[in-house]
Structure 1
Amino acid sequence: MKQYIKKLLVLPLAAIFFLGACTDNFEEMNTNSVGISDEDLKADYQFIGVHFPQIQQMIYCNYNWGWGVNWPFQIMQNLNADIYSGYMMTPTPFAGNVNNTTYALVDGWNASAFDYTYAYMMPAVLAVKNKAEVEFPSFYAVSRILKVLGLSRVSTQYGPIIYSQYGESKTGGEYDKESDLYNNFFTDLEEAVAALEKYVEDNPDAQPFAKFDNFFGGDYNKWIKFANSLQLRLAMRIVKVAPELAQQKAEEAIKRGVFTEGDIAQIVANGYTHPVAAISGSWGDISMSAEMESMLSGYQDPRIAAYFNAPADEAVIAAGYEYKGIRQGIAIDDKATYGGHSLLNLAPESPAVLMTAAEVYFLRAEGALRGWEVGGSAEALYEAGVAASFAQHGVGGLEGYLSSEALPAAYVDVKNDANSVAADSEYMNKVSPMWDAADNNEVKLQKIITQKWIAMFPEGIEAWAEYRRTGYPVLFPVVKNDSQGVIDSDNGIKRLNFSVSEKNNNPDGYAKAVQYLGGPDNGATNLWWDVDGPNF
């Protein structure tokens, strides 16, 4: 795609322009220019609500800013987290096949998640704060939940980010170190929940947010459950570095009420299209991963047809494969070599799923392993998580699946056997779906995270974070490592490099961020919560 490559080449300049403009021209960007004032719009909340489509849709990077709505997502998430999570792999040898997939981190790609979030999402968040904090607390509460959701995703990619001081200076503000960042996340979520609970109590039938809500149709009770569920997710994220705080915040969230079966947080809006539907189905730039093929086919998992399409490659079909993935970090000469492997089964109208009941059940199952008060046993919550995922995708066979002792299948690269992985390899994720009470907690956790990994597909940011936090599921290392010795193939990518525009435009902030990071600004430096060693 020549047009797309050209866009990649000019991205850093565009990103720097918009990042610099997001504070300098803030008043101009958020002032109506057609003669209707904020006072005129207050009657139906339009003067606040107008900002929410931009906030909500930018979380999954599909806001239509006039250049098209899919290619920014490709470099914000799809060519990093979606691949590093073990979910997907591209058949396209971008930049001569020396790129993020082979650990040669491309600055023009790495900066985009940071630059676009601060250029498009955060000015709208700040606009809502300025307009609603005092007079319209329920709108402000929702914006705080969305701020935590959006920036917690960005932080899992980079580490320290600008949060509490955002908007305080023309350079964007000071960075928060990650330990402070998570405390700020919890404060925002708890205060937002309290504000929404009060509003619902005082106005039980009111739905002022309905016409602006791309998540829950204006139902504040669902926003409350989502905020609590998000707090549970973030509490578990820090369990290895702040175990007491993690337990406290997790238990508090569960007591207030979290997602249960049937609950889901997803972006559904008129005109919204799922970016990966285009990236995979239209462009053919992202496909099933080798690990997904190995685990789903080995487990005979009925969700495989909901996730992926059959391959089109004649050699793959002739070899008898119903689905075929691509291994990350291999030598690819041209797109045609692997372009006929399984694409993702996503339609343009597919919602962008950000959190499910299944994920929450698995989080609670891990909490039960740790002795927390989570409202159930690890086994019961684990099985509830699998059941919720099966129900979400409309597949049957749950009882047989939960009693299965099947293991992941060997991976065979029909184009190059050097990329194949044997069933007895140390890189195979050797656990079955069946729960065994006799297993130790580490094995039980591996089962929980493996099933959570399957259930969260295709949301790669959270899956990549959980892989780094726990080491599960076990993934295949890259074959071709172009990091020049910076990144260990077995350890994998730990984070993305900070934005080049921050180095140039906010040098003091950047220096502080690297100091907080505690290591070099490269893909091998662990984030604060990513602690090497056992999980218990």
Structure 2
Amino acid sequence: MKAHYIKKTLGTLLAATVMLSCTKNFEDLNTDKTKISTVDNATLEYIFSAAQYRGCFGPNTTNSGATPFQRFANRYSDAQAQYFSNTSQSAESDRNVMVGNWLNDGWNHFYSNANAQLSVVMEQTEAGGPLQDPIKHAIAKVWKVFMFMPVTDNWGAIPYSQAGNGNTEVLYDSQEDIYKDFFKILKEANTTLSAYTGTTRYFEKGDLIYGGDVKKWTKFCNSLWLRAAMRVSKKDPALGRLQAEAAITATGGMITTNADNALMKVSTTTPHLTASISSFNEFRMSAAMESVLKGYNDPRLQKFFDPASGGVYKGIRNGLSQVQIGLAQNNVANNSNINSSFGFANRGVAPWTLFTAAETFFLMAEAKLNNWTVGTGTAQNYYQQGIDVSMAQWGVTDATVIGNYKTGTSTPAALGDIYNTPAMTNIPVAFGSTEAVQREQIGTQKWLALYPYGLEAWAEVRRTGFPKLYPRLNSDNTDAPAGDPGAVKRLTYPPIEASANAGGLASGISKLGGPDKVTTKLWWNP
């Protein structure tokens, strides 16, 4: 990329990374790794911690929750997945507006921080590297897939194979090529990790997820492999089936118990980001969540959200106009915030969920409906196991309550609000008799189980079409009408790329399969 991004040495990176207490914008968007100096294993631990936290769009400073997570993940993915509705007068993104500075924040942060830091880890630990270590390198490969997946799923073609090459121009890779590389490196990672039989922990001090537990990283690898396989399954069913069956049968197993869930440990210096921004009072529970959770009498309602004034649980339609935001019915006090048990006051306690056993089961249920080779269970078995482990994850343990939920015939509720909002859909929880209903049920329950991880939820909403979300009340984007809840297929590229990496941007647009607009579908979303 151009001289706007001055190349810096690893010394600057290390000084900023240690203990995750760094200054804002400390690293270049396109780090020149020919200038990397040697680091020791202790410092590498901290770099890996930073790559993990920043790879989830964690901020550079402990008091900077607004960027990039809020501006990128919360105001786009969370709102498009309709977990939350934005309530800020400045939140144009909930009306489908592509706000240039917010897109810049997410893009720059990812490439300047997460990718730069993980690249150091990978180059230090690769064969022939100063700190070569096949296990650490394999763990870093798994994390690379995890953190790059939402980036390509938001934009499509992105800098990938050439990111961080130190050149003045960085070309983009097509999403098809990126996903095929995901499969390659996950298979490589599994081969290395699953062969390990020792008890030593790798990145024990720096790994914020598993504390260096290799067996759990193996399961994470395989479940992530299944996630990627299902993502491409509609575009290329043969590839999806090949990779899904490979993941399901891969040595080491998958995440099928909550004890193996991928949870980012949080602290006062690495807070849960949804929790951090909950105190800003700029979002509340969506109407979609209200309709489904209330209609199903879902015991997770009280786990996900706090009651609003008067002790009621209430959500807001997405796409409020500035006038509507000012109405009393849409006041933040009258609508539900996230549950205070993992809210701002407890941001150093509740872990940040990245991948759970519930997701694995719902992916397997869908694969079974595809008539793929998926263990010995039925689609219904996997669907109900997904519900079971999601309930347990959220502390719902009453077997009678869970049993009644799984056989429940009630449907999502009409809201009785000033917009006469109807029920979001008409399906019950009890497993249906037709494939069409079953697919919607699996998609809807997976959407609930993914909460509050909107980056993944929005990708799955676009891929499957489920749940059948509400149309927005308003859209200020002429390319994305309010009446179509799926109008936004992707984010447009950040404006900064036009000046910083014009040639690269042109290469990316040429690989989109359409113009740089929100209506251009991603490769995997035919």
TM-score range normalised by the length of the shorter chain? 0.7 to 0.9
Shift of 1:489: 3.2
Aligned to 1:86: 82
Cα contact 2:186–2:221 (8 A) shared by 1: yes
- SS for the counterpart of 1:176 is coil
- The equivalent position to 1:493 in structure 2, one of 488, 508, 525, is 488
Q: Structure 2 vs 1, CA of residues 167 and 62 (structure 1 numbering), >3 Å: closer, same or farther?
A: closer
Shift of 1:129: 2.0
Aligned to 1:370: 370
Q: Structure 2 vs 1, CA of residues 32 and 64 (structure 1 numbering), >3 Å: closer, same or farther?
A: closer
Paired residue type of 2:313: Y
Q: Deviations over 1:154-201 (max 9, x none)?
A: 111111111122222434632110111101111111111222234x23
Aligned to 2:272: 274
Q: Deviations over 1:449-478 (max 9, x none)?
A: 100001110010111111111111011111
Aligned to 2:416: 412
Paired residue type of 2:512: L
Q: Deviations over 1:355-384 (max 9, x none)?
A: 100000000000000011111210000000
- The equivalent position to 1:103 in structure 2, one of 96, 101, 105, is 96
Percent of paired sites with the same residue: 33
Q: Deviations over 1:240-284 (max 9, x none)?
A: 11111111111111111111122211110443211221322x111
* Structure 1 segment 374-523 matched on structure 2, within 5 A: 374-375=374-375, 376-395=377-396, 396=398, 397-413=401-417, 417=418, 419-423=419-423, 428-436=424-432, 438-439=433-434, 441-487=435-481, 489-490=483-484, 491-523=486-518
Q: Distance in 2 between matches of 1:149 and 1:483?
A: 30
Cα contact 2:431–2:438 (8 A) shared by 1: yes
Paired residue type of 1:214: L
Aligned to 1:46: 42
Cα contact 1:487–1:524 (8 A) shared by 2: no
Aligned to 1:527: 522
Paired residue type of 2:508: A
Q: Structure 2 vs 1, CA of residues 486 and 85 (structure 1 numbering), >3 Å: closer, same or farther?
A: closer
Aligned to 2:22: none
Aligned to 2:142: 145
Aligned to 2:113: 120
Q: Structure 2 vs 1, CA of residues 208 and 468 (structure 1 numbering), >3 Å: closer, same or farther?
A: closer
Q: Distance in 2 between matches of 1:323 and 1:117?
A: 35
Cα contact 2:2–2:500 (8 A) shared by 1: no
Cα contact 1:287–1:342 (8 A) shared by 2: yes
Q: How many residues align?
A: 484
Cα contact 1:487–1:493 (8 A) shared by 2: no
Q: Distance in 1 between matches of 2:37 and 2:98?
A: 48
Aligned to 2:358: 358
Q: Distance in 2 between matches of 1:485 and 1:255?
A: 43
- SS for the counterpart of 1:89 is strand
* Structure 1 segment 288-367 matched on structure 2, within 5 A: 288-312=285-309, 317=310, 322-333=312-323, 334=325, 337-340=330-333, 341-345=335-339, 346-347=342-343, 348=347, 349-367=349-367
Cα contact 1:19–1:115 (8 A) shared by 2: no
Alpha carbon RMSD of aligned pairs, Å?
A: 2.2
Shift of 1:208: 3.2
Q: Distance in 2 between matches of 1:351 and 1:17?
A: 39
Shift of 1:18: 11
- SS for the counterpart of 1:476 is coil
Q: Structure 2 vs 1, CA of residues 522 and 61 (structure 1 numbering), >3 Å: closer, same or farther?
A: same
Q: Structure 2 vs 1, CA of residues 39 and 110 (structure 1 numbering), >3 Å: closer, same or farther?
A: closer
- SS for the counterpart of 1:162 is coil
- The equivalent position to 2:255 in structure 1, one of 225, 234, 259, is 259
Aligned to 2:242: 248
Aligned to 1:73: 69
Q: Distance in 2 between matches of 1:422 and 1:128?
A: 51
- Name which of structure 1's ranges 476-485 and 351-360 shifts more when overlaid on structure 2: 476-485
Shift of 1:64: 3.4
- SS for the counterpart of 1:212 is coil
Q: Distance in 2 between matches of 1:228 and 1:167?
A: 27
Paired residue type of 2:117: A
Q: Structure 2 vs 1, CA of residues 258 and 446 (structure 1 numbering), >3 Å: closer, same or farther?
A: same
Cα contact 1:309–1:342 (8 A) shared by 2: yes
- SS for the counterpart of 2:163 is coil
Cα contact 2:223–2:360 (8 A) shared by 1: yes
- The equivalent position to 2:124 in structure 1, one of 128, 131, 136, is 131
- TM-score with structure 1 length normalisation? 0.86
Q: Structure 2 vs 1, CA of residues 62 and 485 (structure 1 numbering), >3 Å: closer, same or farther?
A: closer
Cα contact 2:2–2:169 (8 A) shared by 1: no
Shift of 1:40: 9.4
Q: Deviations over 1:84-113 (max 9, x none)?
A: 00110121111xx6x111122211112322
Shift of 1:128: 1.2
* Structure 1 segment 157-196 matched on structure 2, within 5 A: 157-171=154-168, 173-196=170-193
Cα contact 2:479–2:519 (8 A) shared by 1: no
- Name which of structure 1's ranges 361-370 and 255-264 shifts more when overlaid on structure 2: 255-264
- TM-score with structure 2 length normalisation? 0.88
Q: Distance in 2 between matches of 1:309 and 1:104?
A: 29
Q: Structure 2 vs 1, CA of residues 182 and 52 (structure 1 numbering), >3 Å: closer, same or farther?
A: same
Aligned to 2:206: 212
For structure 1, the 5+ residue unaligned runs are: 1-15, 532-536
Cα contact 1:386–1:451 (8 A) shared by 2: yes
Q: Deviations over 1:285-315 (max 9, x none)?
A: 1110000000000000000000000012xxx
Q: Distance in 2 between matches of 1:448 and 1:181?
A: 27
Q: Which ranges of 4 or more aligned residues in structure 1 deviate by more than 6 Å?
A: 16-19, 38-41
Q: Distance in 2 between matches of 1:381 and 1:497?
A: 36
